Structure 1
Amino acid sequence: MSGGPKIALVTGGHARVGLAISRALAAQGWQVLLHAFRGVERAQALDRELNSVPLGIWQADFADVEATLASFDRLLDTLPPQAELAVVFNASIFDNDDRDTATLANFRANHAVHYEVPVLVTLAAARRFPDGQALMLLDQNVENLHDQFLSYCLSKGAMYAALKRLALTLAPFRVNAVAPGPTLLPHGADPVRFEEAARASPLRGASTPEDVADAVVWLMGAGRVTAQTVFVDAGQHLKQWREPAAPDRL
């Protein structure tokens, strides 16, 4: 332990599952440093709600990897060197493409947000805060193959494949992951079909954002655990899963 302040940087931490994670970590005594690309005013309001002294917002567009890394280095310069730093990679994009509709632009955007930025930011964080940790939000699809959301699934799978190597390379910096399943209705999806699909999972229902946040909190407090992925998906990865509630393809 560093003996300094506990600071958790939560990407996309002002909305949906990220909001539940931010609130759960604040309840456990973490100072929550919020990242936002859009919704900066909401993030600023949450910063004031969660932190007795607001920390400010890290605004970055992860699709622009070089600019993101440069702004992250500047952000690290502002943190106390004795801080206990955790980075939670929750920010995501979720567009449905397949072999016929995948484009170079969508492939690059997904890999930037879900793989390149998490890997490179984790490396930078570990260099400055070697006793810190990173936690990746993956998806149950990393163990459940289907042909939807091709760019999204490939990028999440790349991060899943990198997890153990990062944990080994960066130790004592810890690297873990949580892989949610059906949790919140995707934008533009059919709620009836979503509920039907969730009830077909082994535990017969969708997980909640709070379920995911509980797993994040546990892993972040489990000081002797690294290179692990916890599936919070009602057992969905144990069955063939297609996204019946998916919005229309790109």
Structure 2
Amino acid sequence: MGSGCVIVTGGSRGIGAAVASALGRAGQRVVLTYRQDRAAADKVCAEIVAAGGTAWAVRADMAESEDIDRLFATVDAEAGTITGLVNNAAILEKQCRAEALDAERLRRVLAVNVIGPMLCARNAVRRMSTAHGGAGGSIVNVSSAAARLGAPGEYVDYAASKGALDTFTRGLALEVANEGIRVNSVRPGFIYTDMHADGGEPGRVDRIAPTLPMGRGGQPEEVAEAVVWLLSARASYVTGTFIDVAGGR
């Protein structure tokens, strides 16, 4: 891991917290963002520090462009050089069919899941690109197996937002490949996180697990391992790539 810092959006819980913790254990300086739960973010930071790492928490709503700009300005002032970005923050709403969707829900989901990561990537590229005097870096977008599967009857809007993120991943990777920046994606499948409760079915992974090829749901730490590898120099010739962490689905 490099001497700069890595920003992990949505780092107070679930996959984001696992990624931040794994990076901290690997000796990486971490800046994690949260939207509401400061206590949860502080807890993740405290665990990283207790293990000998360095971590900060910054409040930033990924649906607000001003928050995103302020996040990067804060990191510039307090944490220094940015060498990595993990676009992890995302939302989903209550399970429903497509005919029950409304415009406000779609705006909320797309604002956080598509526009937010794109604006974060914009800010990261401005700092990391050798074309702007930067030293390069790595961006990892946390997508979802839903981008491939479509999430019918549950979250077609969430799935579509992750499909857009996949397209952005590929396009940005090609755009900045010769500017020292690698851009990749991890697509988790059915992972045990609190996000399923947000959709109205806390036990969703347990329901689906028997139908998966591996017969079980995944853990956030298993996703974090793929993210950490993609950020590292061990993946130095990998860009525009998608790693499915989905138990075979």
Letter in 2 for 1:47: C
Q: Does 1:225 align with 2:223?
A: no
**Structure 1 segment 154-193 matched on structure 2, within 5 A:** 154-171=160-177, 172-184=180-192, 186-187=196-197, 188-189=200-201, 191=203
Contact 2:82 2:124 in 1 (8 A): no
Structure with greater proportional helix content: 2
Q: How much identity, in percent, do the aligned residues show?
A: 28
Alpha-carbon displacement from aligned partner over 1:96-136 (angstroms, at most 9, x marks no partner)? 24322211111111111111111121121111122011111
**Structure 1 segment 24-103 matched on structure 2, within 5 A:** 24-51=22-49, 55-64=55-64, 66-78=65-77, 83=81, 85-95=83-93, 96-103=95-102
Contact 2:24 2:53 in 1 (8 A): no
User: What is the DSSP-based 3-state SS (H/G/I as helix, E as strand, rest coil) of the residue aligned with 1:32?
Assistant: strand
Q: TM-score, normalised by structure 2?
A: 0.85
Alpha-carbon displacement from aligned partner over 1:158-208 (angstroms, at most 9, x marks no partner)? 1111111101112221111110111115114253x6324112111111111
State the distance in 2 between where 1:86 and 1:63 align: 21
1:206 to 195, 217, 220: 217
Letter in 2 for 1:21: V
Between 1:109-118 and 1:91-100, the stretch displaced more is 91-100
Contact 2:8 2:30 in 1 (8 A): yes
Contact 1:138 1:179 in 2 (8 A): yes
User: What is the DSSP-based 3-state SS (H/G/I as helix, E as strand, rest coil) of the residue aligned with 2:100?
Assistant: coil
Gaps of 5+ in 1: 237-250
Q: Does 1:23 align with 2:11?
A: no
Letter in 2 for 1:69: I
Report the equivalent of 1:128. 127
Superposition CA RMSD, Å: 2.1
Letter in 1 for 2:191: T
Alpha-carbon displacement from aligned partner over 1:17-56 (angstroms, at most 9, x marks no partner)? 2221111111111111110001112212322331358653
Report the equivalent of 1:243. none
Contact 1:34 1:58 in 2 (8 A): yes
User: What is the DSSP-based 3-state SS (H/G/I as helix, E as strand, rest coil) of the residue aligned with 1:215?
Assistant: helix
Report the equivalent of 2:133. none
Contact 1:90 1:136 in 2 (8 A): yes
1:153 to 150, 155, 159: 159
Cα 1:144–1:53 change in 2 (3 A) is closer
State the distance in 2 between where 1:30 and 1:54 align: 7
Gaps of 5+ in 2: 130-135
State the distance in 2 between where 1:56 and 1:158 align: 30
Contact 1:62 1:117 in 2 (8 A): yes
Contact 2:141 2:184 in 1 (8 A): yes
Letter in 2 for 1:45: K
User: What is the DSSP-based 3-state SS (H/G/I as helix, E as strand, rest coil) of the residue aligned with 2:115?
Assistant: helix
